[in-house]
Amino acid sequence: MSAETADADADPLTARPPRETPTQAPMYQRDPWRRRYRLNLALTDLFSLTWVVYGTQLLWFGLGNVQLATGRDSRISDLSYWVFSAILIVTWMWALSFVDSRSDRVIGTGSQEYVRIADASFRLFGTVAIIAFLTQIDVARGYLLISLPLGILVLIFTRWMWRQWLVAQRSRGLYSANVLLVGSLPSVTQLAREFGRSPSAGYRVVGACVPNGKIADVIPGTEIPVMGHVGDVTRALQVTGADTVAITSADDLPADKVKQISWSLEAGRQHLVLAPSIIDIAGPRLHTRPVAGLPLIHVETPKFSRGQSFLKRSVDLVAASVGVILLSPLLAFLMIAVRLSSDGPIFFRQTRIGFRGREFTMIKFRSMVVNAEDLLEQLAAQERDSGNEVLFKMKNDPRVTPIGRVMRKFSLDELPQLFNVIGGSMSLVGPRPPLPSEVAVYADHVHRRFLAKPGITGLWQVSGRSSLSWEESVRLDLSYVENWTLLGDFVILGKTARAALAPGETAA
């Protein structure tokens, strides 16, 4: 009896699916992209560390065969720095492998890859310092102090370069995990939409198994084929070539079915992912705690401590003050340009809603004609069917002046908001500052945006700006508020600077 017939005869809800044997070749050829990518990273890491460590040695000691000073311990023979550098490179490579810095679970998105690089490097050099102290080996401090930060910077830069290449490949559907979704139809549809929104995460949905699913159907609103019901996971894996099973709703599966699915997966090559229904929660707030054999996921509520508030305010105040000083010639030029280009005041002042729902006056360079507010209602009526019923956004807005169009394209009209930051009503990074009329139609959950000060830029701006729908804007703002980190602010500021220097079609 063939394996396919045996599969059909077995009860999919009670029997443990058979493991694939050498005679059961999968119908879809797997692409071993993970191994290739890890090899590329390892070769680049080796080249980078060799360049950094030996470059530092030559910079510090020159071309001579300098020996390590072994102190008073006669049991330790002299060791050339050429050999010590080679040992340092090998152990550094091992440390990067030990912390799984090249794992496919951390590459492509998020900061975990870079955090692991820095962590492994600091731990290695700390260990070297301890061993040198205990054995009284006098390793040149300058040699170590240059190698460590330079090595981390070069490693992170090369990994970042590889990430840009990987993201480009993933946008074409390559170098991604082939995912089979399993669960209820609504949960599968939601997760498929989230994966489609973020291709850089590396999950490409190739099929779905849903209760009472019929082969050849598709998930509503997508082109994802239904591969059968939840008992057809093993066959669906063979047909689609999926290497990852994402279970989106265990409530629709029979008891022990999740465990049976995990048994059927090929160890080391196929993976199981449990996707909870809650979304937009950052990793630091999620903690897995096994209790009585149950992998409970703890989601901590957002914390806004005094220390975090003080740190964010300090960075805002220093950065905004330095920014005003450095940009003062540009600010003066724009003031003159606005004054000469059209009648009206230089600055545009508008009431916005900020921290904890308080009103404040936001200032910008005037980029529109003087009677722009009078024309707003007429233009808004034309745009109500544009997909964003709360925010008014219009391409080629006729109210914008010629100089205003240039300022808006490069976000120069927002520079006076640095004074709002210095005054404390705004932050450099935060949710979008809404108008009172917008707040009047907010749903209750949207008011969580006011847990943080509004920002000159934010996650909403670097993720699409004027092309975003209202739901996407809210989702990004709430995600920022609930998962704030200082490192995340720096990342957003970097993306904002890049977007301002090279604005795309979403700039408005």
Angle between helices 112-135 and 81-98 (to 10 degrees): 140
For 272-330, what is each residue's pLDDT tens digit?
887 776 665 555 566 566 665 666 666 666 666 788 889 999 999 999 999 999 999 99
> Higher confidence at residue 151 or residue 396?
151
> Higher confidence at residue 283 or residue 116?
116
DSSP label at residue 427: E
Q: So what's the pLDDT on residue 1?
A: 40
pLDDT band at 460 (very low <50, low <70, confident <90, very high): confident
Where do we find the tokens 């975003």?
A: 468
% of the chain residues with pLDDT over 90: 29
pLDDT band at 123 (very low <50, low <70, confident <90, very high): very high
Helical segments of 383-430, H only: 402-409, 417-423
- Which of 105-109, 121-125, 319-323, 438-442 is the least confident region? 105-109
Beta strands in 280-418 (DSSP E): 286-291, 294-299, 347-353, 359-365
8 A C-beta contact, residue 474 and residue 279: no
Beta strands in 109-222 (DSSP E): 177-182, 203-209
pLDDT band at 32 (very low <50, low <70, confident <90, very high): confident
**CA 272 → CA 179, 181, 257, distances in Å?**
10, 10, 13
What is the rounded average pLDDT of the residues 145-161? 94
DSSP string, 478-502: HHHHHT--HHHHHHHHHHHHHHHHS
What is the rounded average pLDDT of the residues 119-132? 92
Choose from 9-13, 203-207, 214-218, 501-505 the range with maximum mean pLDDT. 203-207
Q: So what's the pLDDT on residue 395?
A: 60
For 331-341, what is each residue's pLDDT tens digit?
999 999 999 88
Distance CA 386, CA 31 (A): 41
Q: Is the pLDDT of residue 470 over 80?
A: no
> Higher confidence at residue 288 or residue 150?
150
Q: Which two tokens mark 12? A: 């999919």
What is the rounded average pLDDT of the residues 88-103? 94
Choose from 3-17, 77-91, 150-164, 489-503 the range with maximum mean pLDDT. 150-164
Q: Is the pLDDT of residue 428 over 60?
A: yes
Q: So what's the pLDDT on residue 309?
A: 86
Distance CA 93, CA 135 (A): 23
Angle between helices 402-409 and 328-341 (to 10 degrees): 150
What is the rounded average pLDDT of the residues 500-507? 65
Q: What is the dihedral of CA 224, 228, 229, 232, to 10 degrees?
A: -120
For 478-501, what is each residue's pLDDT tens digit?
888 877 888 889 889 988 888 877
Write the CB contacts of 279 (distance below 8 Å, at least 6 apart in sequence): 190, 194
Averaged pLDDT score across all residues of the chain: 80
> Higher confidence at residue 28 or residue 224?
224
For residue 64, the SS3 value is coil
pLDDT band at 430 (very low <50, low <70, confident <90, very high): very high
Q: Is the pLDDT of residue 98 over 60?
A: yes
Distance CA 422, CA 324 (A): 10
CA 436: distance to chain centroid?
31
DSSP string, 368-391: B-TTHHHHHHHHHHHSTTSS-SSS
8 A C-beta contact, residue 143 and residue 56: yes
Q: Is the pLDDT of residue 409 over 80?
A: yes
Phi, psi of 269 (to 5 degrees): -120, -20
Please work out, in degrees rounded to the nearest 5, the angle formed at the alpha carbon of residue 290 by the alpha carbons of 288 and 292: 155
Phi, psi of 309 (to 5 degrees): -65, -45
DSSP label at residue 351: E
> What's the chain's length in residues?
508
What is the rounded average pLDDT of the residues 466-473? 72
8 A C-beta contact, residue 249 and residue 183: yes
Q: So what's the pLDDT on residue 280?
A: 58
Q: Positive or negative, the Cα torsion across 141, 146, 148, 149?
A: positive
Q: Which two tokens mark 145? A: 């102090």
Where do we find the tokens 């493991």?
A: 19
What is the rounded average pLDDT of the residues 384-408? 67
8 A C-beta contact, residue 233 and residue 252: no
Q: Is the pLDDT of residue 118 over 90?
A: yes
Count CB-CB contacts under 10 A for residue 181. Answer: 32
Distance CA 182, CA 454 (A): 39
For 233-284, what is each residue's pLDDT tens digit?
888 888 888 888 888 876 667 667 777 788 777 776 788 887 776 665 555 5
Q: Which two tokens mark 74? A: 């006669």
Where do we find the tokens 């999740």?
A: 258
Q: Is the pLDDT of residue 75 over 60?
A: no
8 A C-beta contact, residue 350 and residue 362: yes
Q: Is the pLDDT of residue 35 over 80?
A: yes
Phi, psi of 18 (to 5 degrees): -70, 150
Phi, psi of 429 (to 5 degrees): -125, 135
H/E stretch holding 131:
helix 112-135
Q: Is the pLDDT of residue 28 over 70?
A: no
Q: What are the chain's domains? A: 3-29+176-277 (3.40.50.20), 33-171 (no CATH), 306-501 (no CATH)
Where do we find the tokens 């291709």?
A: 199
pLDDT band at 211 (very low <50, low <70, confident <90, very high): confident
Q: Which two tokens mark 11? A: 């009860």
What is the rounded average pLDDT of the residues 146-161? 95
